Amino acid sequence: MNLLLLHPEDLQPDGTALIGGRRLQHMQQVQRVQPGQQLRAGLLGGLMGQATVQELNSHQARLALHLDQSAPEKLPLTLILALPRPKMLKRILQTIAAMGIARLVLVNSFRVEKSFWQTPWLQDDSIREQLLLGLEQACDTVLPEVILEKRFKPFVEDRLPTLANNSLKLVAHPGDFPECPRSLGKQPLTLAIG
């Protein structure tokens, strides 16, 4: 956890934050924080900065906040990815968030087994949990957008043209093709893999 990610419900009327659960456990067991110590912190969807530990016990920590920095800019990238095996999905979601990708579209394809769409890892809460872990590692506060498209043809014919409008469109496909463009700067990009 490189960034203590705070949720709106953690905020208190006096301007402090109260946290518990996994984040508190990490602070105590991994970071071994003490009262008075400062941590990098950020509010989900908002600013980043410092949190000073005011109080700490086995149930909760009270933090004084000084959040004055913007979150890093997202890459102007829409990644279209064939739904991976459930075993790989958790790691991929964390990596997507850590890389700063703005939008992920998980699509059905010829090799995606129907059972993959039944995994509990595709539940909103499970996706969100993995994305939050990625944000904590990357020191970011803004969640990427995740879209699930179970039907390939309607997605490609009906929704993809709007989604990829005004962007460079690339398909990662093995073979003897021109080299992938580099140094695109801030040009929006739609990249399909798998």
Q: Look up the CATH architecture of domain 4-69.
A: Beta Barrel (2.40)
The overall pTM is greater than 0.85: yes
Residue whose token pair is 């949720």:
7
pLDDT in tens, the chain (194 residues): 899 999 999 999 999 999 999 999 999 999 999 999 999 999 999 999 999 999 999 999 999 999 999 999 999 999 999 999 999 999 999 999 999 999 999 999 988 999 999 999 999 999 999 999 999 999 999 999 999 999 999 999 999 999 999 999 988 877 777 777 777 778 899 999 87
CB neighbour list of residue 107: distance below 8 Å, 6 or more residues apart: 80, 81, 82, 83, 149, 152, 155
Every domain of the chain and the residues it spans: 4-69, 75-193
How far apart are the C-alpha atoms of 190 and 107, rounded to whole Å?
14
The model's pLDDT over 48-93, given as tens digits with 9 standing for 90+, comes to 999 999 999 999 999 999 999 999 999 999 999 999 999 999 999 9
Q: Look up the CATH architecture of domain 75-193.
A: 3-Layer(aba) Sandwich (3.40)
For 105, counting Cβ atoms within 10 Å of its Cβ (0-12 exposed, 13-18 middle, 19+ buried), the class is buried
